[in-house]
């Protein structure tokens, strides 16, 4: 199998990320169909600065791994690159897709003068945590949330 190639996906290419992101977030309404996914990303998320990078190998039309990210500013970290999503299709795990994406993201952060790279990861995703630690990230906080229904 050839080494993955990584590139940023623009409008008109968003659908190439669907299969991989569906693995991570299948239960979300925005990923119910390829069309709802493309509309949500292109019409809403991209307007908020969301970008997609994808890893491809020869012979596969869809991305084998995808990273959704944005550059933003926070008081605690100033300018940062925040990774919203990082996922590899199960049959392509350990093919180098996520590592290639992470190298790409580091380059984007560096070229945009970001002080840090941040991401949140589900508590039970121990394989992902191992990957992040092996690629130089540190566990620096806990993330807390509550559904809208419980805000009352």
What percent of the chain stands above pLDDT 70? 99
**The two structure tokens encoding residue 67:** 């990273």
Taking 80 as the threshold, does the pLDDT of residue 31 lie above it?
no
Average pLDDT over residues 91-111: 94
pLDDT digits (tens, 9 = 90+) for 50-89: 999 999 999 889 999 999 999 999 998 899 999 999 999 9
Q: How far, rounded to the nearest angstrom, does the alpha carbon of residue 45 sit from its chain's CA centroid?
A: 13
Q: Look at residue 6 in the predicted model and tell me its pLDDT.
A: 97
* Three-state secondary structure call for residue 96: coil
Q: Where residue 1 falls among pLDDT bands split at 50, 70, 90?
A: low
pLDDT digits (tens, 9 = 90+) for 131-147: 788 888 898 887 888 88
- Residue with tokens 């994808």, as numbered in its chain: 54
* Three-state secondary structure call for residue 38: helix
Instruction: Return the domain boundaries, the chain.
Output: 5-151
**The two structure tokens encoding residue 11:** 């409008």
Architecture of domain 5-151: 3-Layer(aba) Sandwich (3.40)
């Amino acid at each position: 199998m050839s080494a993955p190639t990584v590139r940023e996906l623009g409008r008109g290419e968003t659908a190439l990320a669907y299969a991989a992101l569906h693995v991570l977030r299948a239960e979300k309404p925005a990923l119910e169909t390829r069309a709802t996914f493309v509309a949500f990303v292109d019409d809403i998320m991209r307007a908020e600065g969301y970008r997609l990078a994808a890893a491809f190998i020869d012979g596969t039309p869809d991305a084998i791994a995808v990273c959704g990210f944005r550059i933003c500013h926070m008081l605690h970290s100033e300018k940062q690159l925040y990774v919203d999503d990082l996922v590899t299709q199960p049959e392509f795990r350990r093919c180098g897709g996520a590592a290639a994406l992470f190298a790409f993201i580091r380059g984007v952060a560096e070229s945009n003068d970001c002080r840090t790279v941040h991401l949140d990861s589900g508590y039970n995703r121990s394989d992902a945590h191992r990957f992040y630690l092996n690629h130089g990230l540190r566990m620096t906080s806990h993330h807390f949330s509550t559904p809208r229904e419980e805000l009352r």
